Amino acid sequence: MKLTQRDYATAAHCSYETAGRRLTSSDYTTGTHGTRYYSVAQAVTTLRPREVEGGAVAQLVASATTHPDTLWVGGSDSLHVAQRLLNWLPDDMLKRAIVAQHEFFSGVAHSKVCAPAVVENLGKLQMLYLLQPDVLSFVLTGTPTNHANIAPAFALVNNFPHESQAA
């Protein structure tokens, strides 16, 4: 899930320049005409508590665009983003993140993809699962999602056994 600096400024009720300063350390991709697109998972961690209480998180999620490939979230390079998000989450969102991670584990455990190569990386995959757009929306806003359908496919697409062997 990606958003622009303007989307952030609108949701946080701050100036375009303030949004830019807050997003400086966030990764971005460049779109048409040089527009920068930032990860919602990174952007929400820069919101002030009063902005969160004022509904900025839901507004960021609503204004975000989603890439057509919703399963791939960037592999192990995105673990730091997921960890930062998890550390930032307010209590209600943290409870939903824990539910999502439990549902991921259950979904993989009860599927045919529950193989040693996947189980070996289950902790990393559970962390990355928070970045999947439907799951991120669930964590941040409570929008229901079908974890049982997403979890096995997500595990297959994002599994990276070659990295655990190199470690």
Per-position DSSP letters for 78-118, written without gaps between them? GHHHHHHHHHH--HHHHHHHHHHHHHHHHHHHTSTT--HHH
Please compute the mean of the pLDDT values over residues 51-74 and round it to a whole number. 94
CA distance 96 to 121: 22
| Predicted model pTM | 0.92
Domain range summary for the chain, segments of one domain joined by + = 2-63, 75-166
Residue 135 confidence class, pLDDT cut points 50, 70, 90: very high
pLDDT on residue 160 = 77
The percentage of the chain sitting over the pLDDT mark of 70, rounded to a whole number, equals 96
pLDDT category at 163 given cuts 50, 70, 90 is: low
For the cut 70, the answer to whether the pLDDT of residue 81 exceeds it is yes
- Residue 74: pLDDT band (50, 70, 90) is confident
Query: 104 Cβ partners below 8 Å, 6+ apart?
Result: 125, 126, 129, 135, 147, 151, 154, 155
Q: Is residue 87 within 8 Å of residue 134, measured between CB atoms?
A: no
Looking at the chain, the whole-number percentage of residues with pLDDT higher than 90 is 88
Sheet harboring 36-39: ordered strands across? 2-4, 36-39, 28-30
The answer to which of 71-80, 103-112, 132-141 has the lowest mean pLDDT is: 71-80
What pLDDT shows up at residue 77?
A: 87
Mean pLDDT of the chain: 93
Reported confidence tier of residue 102, pLDDT bands at 50, 70, 90 = very high
